[in-house]
Chain A
């Protein structure tokens, strides 16, 4: 036993110092990452704890000192009553008891700062004790050192905290502490007294090693990070005002289109409908060169009673229509409704009025209230006559209202002339508007355009969003395709508008009245365009590859061309689960970290393929069980094969043990106290041979004498094989 005095030597002093530094590293980042203030109080507390531990201050002295310190800190930070007055104590105790209740209730947010501070002090108390225990009793600190390193590196990677110096500090102190501890362990184990020269040499070597390794670590070339820094991405998640990647979903501002976004499969609403179709939220008519806005920004909302006709007129004249009804069950509350093309009326139980913004054809709930109650919609699905559509060939014939044409033929003056040229080129040889529109729509089906949510460009200051997509990047998502088609059609005099909403969603289950329930998620957010045909009305087109809107057309007399996208019967292409619109965010830093997207893909894979994964997994498990249960059948064959080509006598022991196992599988069980001789006799009686006994004689020699004649395996191989073969029968 060493005396107390020798314990309080320089080694111990350094150990405490290093323990202090390591624990300090845990506290350091808090200032930057959390709203914890007055860190020096905690650090001084750690210092105090270690000092008292170093001087072996007795528990009954040190504990009151610590408690007094903690309470003083709390007092200085939060409390106003006279220090240590009865009310002060009462306040503290009431607070603690109250907070314990909150803890039990899981109301973490409600905890008071006083309580949290006290708890933090208690945590540090435990930690200092633990480190003290590790350093002096266990003489090991490796675990804590590694955890500290992980803590720092994780913080460095995923938070704005920069751990450049912290890593060096931790490495140095950790190595030093471990070196001293190893020395202490060796001294204790080898029962060497405290030899000063030995310790001195050890310390010198240790310091050299640490200096060397740190220097090498500092100056050695470092590999490039294998993933991009995720901090900007995480920042953008926490902080809506920063970051360049957008999460998908419904956004209001479309004036700056472009940029990447990541998917989000939060359910927005469930719709019970007769047939799947797109859902509109709003339409926009003014293209700025960067995105879309409403041309009439001063329009006032119209309030109208629910159940009355919605003032949206998507089609005109004597268009053939089908009446349908849909029930919407919102999961995310928005102040607006989603509605199908041709909406007539809305019904909701607890609602009297709706508000309507005519400039963007957006319907709001009364007083902008967000609801998640169900509502139903009745609407008319038009079935346009293609013959009639094809009669429209030119502007003059349309005889459109001047205001109307100005609104829906608007293009910015800055629009490059190439867009118009391209539109003209594509539509060359087509006479009617309908054919021209179809030609432009088909243009986007070409392989040079690709659908992607990643690496989608944002137009520069002097760039046009459409031109950039058409001539430069050719990579994009629905916004790129729909905007480009709308603008191109406008340049050749065909009125268009840009529509935002959701695509049809994913089929979930059968609803009432043989209707189907579709689930629409944020990934279904979508944009497309509508073209105005005089005499018929607005008709939706879908330039985005991989998407299809079910538009009913009457091909009565129209048989010249096989229609491609729109067939008379509602087409149900499988809806690709592609996130398709995004939340607009101003700051566009170029971070390509798509961890979330990757995760989404994995989740999608499991979600889509879970049946197969489950079936395959079960089948494999079943197969494994069968193979295992039937091992007595195939194992002998395997053993025969395994030992067939073995020439070495070393195999003999292995082969014999394998034979024992095989015999046991076969049903000839050896009791644990049965000797091999006895067992061999039993086996031989069973098979009416003498082979097992002969084989066992050799094995006894090997096992109990440790000697084996050369060539034993060759001689006994046949015996062994015969016995194995007997177990096959």
Chain B
């Protein structure tokens, strides 16, 4: 991309890159989700640096970082927090759970029971949790990065489609390249650099950034392009259920954040094309025939993009 990045965002990314090697794309996309007030679903195997990524992000924006390791026996109260009777005070005292943070890593979300999953997902959707009849407003910004292990199926509770819809983006971390991995080893010999990270953006600045992206202009032509893409996923022959209007909104918001990141106050079709696979693929339900053929949702989104013409002229009204 030719455009210069927004300086504040550039600083965050550079900060993350101090500890994460070769993961600029993931950092960018995570920031897109953070700026667009969305959440991220990371689908990857353990040990590729998901936690590191989230912690680095949290540190860079001086946000409260919390981590929840989901296990089959985790209870909703373990996520949201619990009221405990304090004999000294003679009353129940609320002990906030890990959800009461700014940036939360929900590790292996598919390993816990749906009940616990919904406790997190409710918080993600409503920005609040209700415990013992008391509604607790969550901190702002509130950003969840959930991970899902794609290879283990025994004893997992795959997220239902409706809940997958809550995530703005879904992406893979991927293994590092040869050189990158060697550099990782080099750094691991010394003290973990994560401890030395300094915040580069204050929380209030981040909130301001989240407000700013709403001003990014989305032209009618672009909106139409987004809607056409969404509609094409609905009519695709391999798709059982296409992207919902919520998906179209998510794509538009992600595009706004992405354009803002690159210092633009308007959205390009390039942004749409780049982000659409991340936004749409987890929202599609494929037909079983397509699954048998080994077609992935990402491929379908790419085919849809190839089929919808890019708007290059003003709409004729």
A contacts, CB < 8 Å to B: 653, 657, 660, 670-678, 693, 700-701, 703-706
Contacts and interface: CB of A to CB of B under 8 A. Distances in A.
Contacts of A705: 217, 219, 265-266
Given A673-B306, A677-B268, A703 B312 contact: yes
Contact of A653 (B266, B308, B311, B314): B314
B269 interface: yes
Given A700-B268, A704-B267, A660 B312 contact: yes
Interface string B279-297: 0000000000000000000
B190 interface: no
Contacts of A660: 312
A657 B316 CA distance: 14
Interface in B203-241: 217, 219, 221-222
Given A673-B305, A673-B307, A704 B312 contact: no
A653 B310 CA distance: 16
Interface in B236-282: 265-270, 273
Contacts of B313: 653, 657, 703
Interface in B118-165: none
Contacts of B267: 704
Nearest to A672: B309
Contacts of B307: 673
Nearest to B272: A675
18 contacts: A653-B313, A653-B314, A657-B313, A672-B309, A672-B310, A673-B273, A673-B306, A673-B307, A673-B309, A673-B310, A675-B268, A675-B269, A676-B269, A676-B312, A677-B268, A704-B222, A704-B269, A705-B265
B221 A703 contact: yes
Contact of A675 (B219, B265, B270, B314): B270
Interface centre among B306, B309, B311, B312 (most CB of A within 10 A): B312
A704 B310 contact: no
B266 A701 contact: yes
Nearest to B219: A704
A653 B221 CA distance: 15
Nearest to B222: A704
Contacts of A653: 313-314
A704 B221 contact: yes
Contacts of B219: 703-706
- A interface, over-half SS: helix
Interface residues of B, number: 22
A700 B312 CA distance: 9
A676 B221 CA distance: 14
Nearest to A677: B270
B231 to A, nearest CB: 15
Interface centre among B217, B269, B270, B311 (most CB of A within 10 A): B269
A657 B312 CA distance: 8
A704 B314 CA distance: 9
B205 to A, nearest CB: 26
A669 to B, nearest CB: 13
A723 to B, nearest CB: 16
Interface centre among A671, A678, A701, A704 (most CB of B within 10 A): A704
Nearest to A674: B310
Nearest to A705: B266
A112 to B, nearest CB: 59
A165 to B, nearest CB: 50
A706 B217 contact: yes
A703 B311 contact: yes
Nearest to B305: A673
B273 A704 contact: no
A674 B314 CA distance: 17
A671 B314 CA distance: 18
Nearest to A678: B270
B265 to A, nearest CB: 7
Given A673-B273, A704-B221, 14 more contacts: A653-B313, A670-B312, A674-B310, A675-B273, A676-B312, A678-B270, A693-B2, A703-B219, A703-B221, A703-B313, A704-B217, A704-B222, A704-B266, A705-B266
Contacts of B217: 704-706
A670 B269 CA distance: 15
A693 B217 CA distance: 21
Contacts of A701: 266
A672 B2 CA distance: 22
A704 B308 CA distance: 17
Contacts of A673: 273, 305-310
A495 to B, nearest CB: 88
B250 to A, nearest CB: 20
Interface centre among B221, B268, B311 (most CB of A within 10 A): B268
A262 B265 CA distance: 80
A703 B314 contact: yes
Nearest to B269: A675
A706 B268 CA distance: 12
Contacts of B306: 671, 673
B28 to A, nearest CB: 17
